Amino acid sequence: MNILKNYINGVWVESVSSETIEVTNPATQEVLAKVPFGEATKTDVAAATKAASDAYNQWRNVPVMKRVQVLYKLKSLVETNIDELAEIITIESGKTRAESIGEIQRAIENIEVACGTPMLMAGDFIEDIASGIDEMMIRQPVGVAACITPFNFPSMIVFWFLPYAIATGNAFIVKPSEKVPLTMMKIFEFIDQLDLPKGLLSLVHGGKDSVDAILEHPEIKAISFVGSTPVARYIYSKGTANGKRVQAQGGAKNPVLILPDADVEMSAKIIADSVYGCAGQRCLAASTIITVGDEKGEIKEAIYESVTSRTTGFGLDQGVHMGPVITAESKTRIERLIAQGVSEGANLLLDGRNPSISGYDNGNFLAPTILENVALDKELIKTEIFGPVMSLISMKTIEDAIKFVNSGKYGNMACLFTSSGASARKFRNEANAGNIGINIGVAAPMAQFPFSGWKDSFFGDLHGQGKHAIEFFTQTKVVIERWPKKWSRKF
Ligand code: NAD
């Protein structure tokens, strides 16, 4: 069985660790590869960091216009190979081919925005801030930076950070999720073709041990993390305690409101896409749907119709809308949450447990599930499920619904469906979440905008993507200069 190599100092090398874990296809349980794991991966991180430090000292002196040239080539390589990449993403993560293509397009958009770094990292200059004195603020790279990423977007999430990090002059280490390392193996085949100093970009595998090595290494100055909230909190507290800059995006529990004046058919379809896209394994998946003043039950009916028309199966097969969840443990956990909801009084409107998927008896499949009348103090309402499960609840007024939105501990996304500008404006202003959707089901910021989680969905100050990423990967330096006129020479 293929044991995955690290990419360190511009070459593919075996991990120092002899411990491995298996990477599996969640639709079939086929073992795809083995990935290095365990304590010894700390040595791999040390080797990658040493190479990164050396490369950084060269790269920071390359003019920014030249640095972004490699991004044009990287974009072209990703675009040319999009079908092959999408297939790898589907095989290791379970999402459908269309979803895999969609996430690669989001990755490409980030490369494109980072190509604007020559403008985005421009500083400020004031001549004669006092007589004969000029002052400027310049941006310089932070040094060696690293990202630690989750399983659910094997390509896109790395690109919220990597293109900005290198365009601004840093060296960068990628530690992908051990559940989906194959996509980054392919991306690093492209990176190997770029004209970069050896060691500038490294790929290091592993789990908690390699992450701890990143958190502890004094030469790593900045860490970008995306994953579950407990780990995000840990990364933020340990990383900042060690003097690093940290941006840590965590989990979510996203509420969506529908008002009686919404376009019911359109809203129902968009909401179903949000809840069940990527099998509910998106940090921007709608989870709790609140119908407001739906006295005749029209909205509920439309949602039910839209959900039941979806097909579950292997993501590379034709006509499949939803793939499996990532692991058997994840499937069992979701089934437990559904059973618990029912035992606590929720009505199971649609039961997606144990679907029969012909030809894929061993896959981690769950079909769409809807529970209604879930009590607000129950786990189903409070916990991130990260699976294809909708909790459908009803409230009388928009005020009650916004109060509910703001009572949650997460703040990744909140959405509203309405045709009223006044209601939309009120919601946009009052809902406590970093990403707001109005008649949008997955309010994913485009690459120009920061990926803006709040509350327990984010730890730090500057988010991923766009100008925030440029700021995160640079430190400001303010220079004040005196040039007395009497020093002027005549030539
Ligand atoms: P995870 O937290 O289990 O793992 C994320 C990364 O952290 C992986 O690389 C993993 O190796 C590492 N890790 C895991 N446990 C660790 C530990 N104890 N110490 C140090 N490192 C550790 O997350 P996941 O299951 O891969 O991804 C799903 C989660 O990610 C969900 O909670 C989802 O909401 C969240 N997510 C958030 C965003 C966002 O933008 N806020 C985006 C995508 C996913």
- For residues 100 and 119, give the distance between their C-alpha atoms in angstroms, rounded to a whole number: 31
What sign for the dihedral angle of Cα 335, 322, 404, 330?
positive
- For residues 491 and 485, give the distance between their C-alpha atoms in angstroms, rounded to a whole number: 15
Residue 62 phi, psi dihedral angles, 5° rounding: -80, 130
Please tell me whether residue 90 adopts helix, strand or coil conformation: helix
- Answer whether residue 343 shows pLDDT above 80: yes
Q: Do domains 6-250+457-479 and 254-438 have the same CATH topology?
A: no
pLDDT band per the 50, 70, 90 thresholds, residue 440: very high
What's the whole-model pTM score? 0.98
Question: For 254-438, CATH number?
Answer: 3.40.309.10
In this predicted structure, what is the pLDDT of residue 323? Answer: 98
73 contacts: CB under 8 Å, gap ≥ 6: 193, 194, 195
pLDDT per position as a tens digit, 242-251:
999 999 999 9
* Torsion on CA atoms 355, 178, 273, 337, rounded to nearest 10: 50
Work out the percent of the chain whose per-residue pLDDT is above 70: 100
Please give the positions annotated as active site: 283
pLDDT per position as a tens digit, 388-423:
999 999 999 999 999 999 999 999 999 999 999 999
Number of H helices, E strands in the chain: 17, 22
Ligand 1 centroid, distance to 227 Cα (angstroms): 2
Please tell me whether residue 222 adopts helix, strand or coil conformation: strand
Distance of CA 5 to the CA centre of its chain: 24
From 3.30.420.40, 3.50.50.60, 3.40.605.10, 1.10.10.60, which CATH number describes the 6-250+457-479 domain? 3.40.605.10
Evaluate: CB of 386 within 6 angstroms of ligand 1: yes
Bridge partner list, 409:
none
Evaluate: CB of 369 within 6 angstroms of ligand 1: no
| 8 Å CB contact between 401 and 259 | no
Per the listing, tokens 């004209």 go with 195
pLDDT band per the 50, 70, 90 thresholds, residue 490: confident
Ligand 1 centroid, distance to 210 Cα (angstroms): 14
Per the listing, tokens 């980072």 go with 114
How do strand 347-350 and strand 369-372 relate by DSSP bridges? Answer: antiparallel
| 8 Å CB contact between 195 and 62 | no
| 8 Å CB contact between 303 and 350 | no
Ligand 1 centroid, distance to 150 Cα (angstroms): 4
Bridge partner list, 223:
146, 246
pLDDT per position as a tens digit, 360-374:
999 999 999 999 999
Helix runs in 242-314, H state only:
264-276, 298-308
Identity (one letter) of the amino acid at 329?
Answer: E
- Answer whether residue 491 shows pLDDT above 80: no
The residue ranges of every structural domain in the chain are 6-250+457-479, 254-438
- For residues 325 and 94, give the distance between their C-alpha atoms in angstroms, rounded to a whole number: 7
Atom from ligand 1 closest to the CA of residue 212 = 20
Evaluate: CB of 247 within 6 angstroms of ligand 1: no
Atom from ligand 1 closest to the CA of residue 464 = 40
Identity (one letter) of the amino acid at 157?
Answer: I
Per the listing, tokens 């905008």 go with 449
- Is residue 288 exposed (0-12), middle (13-18) or buried (19+ Cβ within 10 Å)? buried
315 contacts: CB under 8 Å, gap ≥ 6: 27, 90, 94, 95, 96, 97, 99, 100, 323
- For residues 412 and 229, give the distance between their C-alpha atoms in angstroms, rounded to a whole number: 11
Evaluate: CB of 143 within 6 angstroms of ligand 1: no
- For residues 114 and 69, give the distance between their C-alpha atoms in angstroms, rounded to a whole number: 11
| 8 Å CB contact between 432 and 411 | yes
The mean of the pLDDT values for the chain is 97
pLDDT per position as a tens digit, 122-140:
999 999 999 999 999 999 9
